Amino acid sequence: MRSFRVLLLAGLAGFALTARDTRANLAVADYRYFRALSIDLAGRPPTRAELADFERADFDLDAWIESHLTGDAYAERLRRIYLDALRLEIGPSFQYVPNPVMLRRQQITGPDGAPMFVYFRRGQRRVDPARDGDFCLTQDETGQQFPTNAPPTGTAKPIAQAVLDERTVVVKPWWLYADYRETTPTDVVAPEWVKRFPGFVPAPALLMEPDGKTKATSVRVCREEAQTAETGAVYVSGRVAAKKGEPLPGGRLTQPPGDSGFAKTAKGRAVSCLSGTGFSSSVECGCGIGLERCLPNAGPQNEAPAFVMPARTPLGEDMPFEANPQAPAAWIRMWWGEEASKFLDALFIEDRDFREVLTSRATKVNGPLAQFYRYLAGASCCGPGADVGYSQPEPLFDPAAVPEALTPEDTATWLPVADRGPHASGILTMPVFLTKYGSRRARAHVLYNAFLCKDFVADSVKLSPSNDPDLMKRPGCSSCHQTLEPMAAYFTRVQESDWTWLPATVFPMSNPKCANGKGGGLCKQIYDPAFDKLRGAYGSPVHAEQGPAGLANDLIAAPEFAPCVVENVAQSLLGRTLAPEDDAWKLQLVKVFVDGGYRMKSLVRAIVKSPRYRAGNDRR
């Protein structure tokens, strides 16, 4: 009886407390508003505990909103708006398999008769014509032939120990050792790496020896690939190409590389081993310390597995769904996309001026991106540019700006980079943007659409035959291209589907050697014979010299920029397109956004507190 009384008293006290401390007059609309706020600003519906808080008499909704206008969920909500518009992830249709970067492997028979792996680069320059540009072991030595991008053929025989020692070396590579740069690396891949380097999981095939049982603690790699020099001398073989029908040296299946025009003119000159030119023209360039300039492939083909990674990460890379071994290209493409996401998140979380999305020279990088910008990005340079002396790439992202603390395994640490370099400009110069939108026109188009909320709609004119190369004049084309070509011209000096910058000091706007369609590879690839200008520059040579930063400045100065941001954000939060009845409200929001220094927080605050957000989606 006594305990019942205690319970009764406690119950009454609880009731009195509840009655005093909760808001009894809350309506369904209030709850729905709070749920909408929670979904948009906290990234999920409210929990029961949060609803209980909401019902408390002293609950301050304004303070709640204010406290949720920052943080990961808020940033993700805004990021989603711009990623839906820009779709900044690269799929397998963009193959990133540059020979200077991709370290492939072949399986041979070791001196003891057991199978063993040997890593190599396709196209690696070597002095011996039997092995130059190809695998470092020949048919005579292994009993096998090594077709391009395919497993070996023929009957394997044990390789002589002396040959193996002469042609190859043993290396402790970066994907097995976090301290690979030490003289004696010891920090070998281990189960505890899951916590230290979440998301960095080498494919099982990279972690095991060919027997599938023994853990790999080092790799055997062709001697030339293991070189660590920063520069190499341009090599000229002086070889004469074999005539048709003549046997190829060493039983190889393809012709050894010949001497390029660049090699002949620059013989002995030092070239950067970080550039594609260094790779293709010097026998002294390798994959660097711990093979850090290369990405491993568990096979000889283009897309052999390398890293276990999720195919999709809708909740971010730290909340992975199913993962499976994927090629190193997929690994790099994923981190390119993550760079854009982290860059956008920083803008929103730090409530920075949103115009920086296009203009900022800052970014954030983690270990894989640091490795890419330091060692891999230059590999696509310089192609025919070498013929005019462009062998040391002038980067969009200065490798010297990359934080030194990051190792390639360090996927979880994101460090800021205050200034990528003079050519950098927001997302416009990030690899994910430049490869997702490979052509100059595609780049201009998506920006026109996402940041000015405009699109190109063709005129309904009668098309007449024309061979005018100037699309700004050609009937039927001109209505769109009068705007598009000058915008696309801003990307003239960034190679298409790549990030290689074409500096004016090496590539003048017009090159007399290429005039009137003259000249070879350089003239055809870099210059447009129809206009005697750099390709893509004819729409506006002035824009071409300004580069992507010029386009960024044009876009943010456009009168459509701020209204477009407002439109994108408001439409996403309301879940509907803005109607003419919204025009006055939109104008108010534009003023809020601009007066607030183009910061998202003021804009989102104004939207979620507006009656339109609160009741607009309640058609009853």
Choice between 227 and 341, CB closer to other proteins: 341
In the complex, least distance from residue 36 CB atom to other proteins, rounded to whole angstroms: 5
Choice between 200 and 390, CB closer to other proteins: 200
Q: Binding string to other proteins for residues 337 to 376, with x set by CB under 8 A, is what?
A: x---------------------------------------
Task: Find, among 136, 100, 144, the residue nearest to 118 by Cα.
Answer: 136
Produce one character per residue of 105-144: b if its CB has 16 or more CB atoms within 10 Å, e if not. Answer: bbbbbbeeeeebbbbbbbbbbbeebbbbbbbbbbbebbbb
What does the CA dihedral 160, 162, 168, 172 come to, rounded to 10 degrees? Answer: 100
SS (H, E, C) 371-418: HHHHHHHHHHCCHHHHHHCCCCCCCCCCHHHCCCCCCCCCCCCCEEEC
Task: Find, among 118, 47, 36, 52, the residue nearest to 572 by Cα.
Answer: 36
455 binds other proteins (CB under 8 A): no
Among 9, 242, 400, 615, binds other proteins (CB under 8 A): 615
Choice between 94 and 456, CB closer to other proteins: 94
Which range, of 24-32, 384-392, 483-491, 541-549, touches other proteins by CB under 8 A? Answer: 24-32
Which range, of 41-49, 124-132, 506-514, 539-547, touches other proteins by CB under 8 A? Answer: 41-49
83 binds other proteins (CB under 8 A): yes
How far is residue 243's CA from residue 31's CA, in Å, rounded to a whole number?
82
Residues 534-593, interacting with other proteins (CB under 8 A)? 574-576, 579, 581-582
Which tokens is 567 given? 């439109």
Q: How many CB atoms lie within 10 A of CB 279?
A: 26
How far is residue 100's CA from residue 273's CA, in Å, rounded to a whole number?
9
8-state DSSP, 40:
I
Residue 100, helix vs strand vs coil: coil
Choice between 36 and 362, CB closer to other proteins: 36
Produce one character per residue of 453-471: b if its CB has 16 or more CB atoms within 10 Å, e if not. Answer: beeeeeeeeeeeeeeeeeb
In the complex, least distance from residue 262 CB atom to other proteins, rounded to whole angstroms: 36
Which range, of 181-189, 249-257, 317-325, 466-474, touches other proteins by CB under 8 A? Answer: 317-325
How far is residue 415's CA from residue 351's CA, in Å, rounded to a whole number?
18
In the complex, least distance from residue 213 CB atom to other proteins, rounded to whole angstroms: 27
In the complex, least distance from residue 310 CB atom to other proteins, rounded to whole angstroms: 9
Q: Binding string to other proteins for residues 85 to 114, with x set by CB under 8 A, is what?
A: --xxxxxx----------------------
How far is residue 298's CA from residue 448's CA, in Å, rounded to a whole number?
42
Choice between 106 and 568, CB closer to other proteins: 568
**Using CA of residue 341, residue 35, residue 570, residue 356, what is the dihedral sign?**
negative
How far is residue 136's CA from residue 221's CA, in Å, rounded to a whole number?
9
Q: Binding string to other proteins for residues 225 to 254, with x set by CB under 8 A, is what?
A: ------------------------------
Choice between 443 and 533, CB closer to other proteins: 443
Residues 42-61, interacting with other proteins (CB under 8 A)? 43-48, 51
Choice between 77 and 361, CB closer to other proteins: 77
Residues 209-228, interacting with other proteins (CB under 8 A)? none
Among 312, 454, 473, 591, binds other proteins (CB under 8 A): 312
Contact 193, 200 (CB under 8 A): yes
195 binds other proteins (CB under 8 A): no
Task: Find, among 443, 421, 567, the residue nearest to 501 by Cα.
Answer: 421
Q: Residues binding other proteins: what is the number (CB under 8 A)?
A: 48
In the complex, least distance from residue 530 CB atom to other proteins, rounded to whole angstroms: 31
How far is residue 339's CA from residue 430's CA, in Å, rounded to a whole number?
8
DSSP codes, 543-606: HHHHHHHHHHHHHHHSTTHHHHHHHHHHHHHHTS---GGGHHHHHHHHHHHHHTTS-HHHHHHH
In the complex, least distance from residue 581 CB atom to other proteins, rounded to whole angstroms: 5
Among 65, 80, 509, 524, binds other proteins (CB under 8 A): 80
39 binds other proteins (CB under 8 A): yes
In the complex, least distance from residue 165 CB atom to other proteins, rounded to whole angstroms: 45
How far is residue 531's CA from residue 539's CA, in Å, rounded to a whole number?
10
What does the CA dihedral 56, 58, 61, 65 come to, rounded to 10 degrees? Answer: -100
315 binds other proteins (CB under 8 A): yes
In the complex, least distance from residue 443 CB atom to other proteins, rounded to whole angstroms: 15
28 binds other proteins (CB under 8 A): yes
Q: Using CB under 8 A, list all residues that contact other proteins.
A: 27-28, 31-32, 34-36, 38-39, 43-48, 51, 76, 80, 83-84, 87-92, 311-312, 314-315, 319-322, 337, 574-576, 579, 581-582, 611-612, 615-619
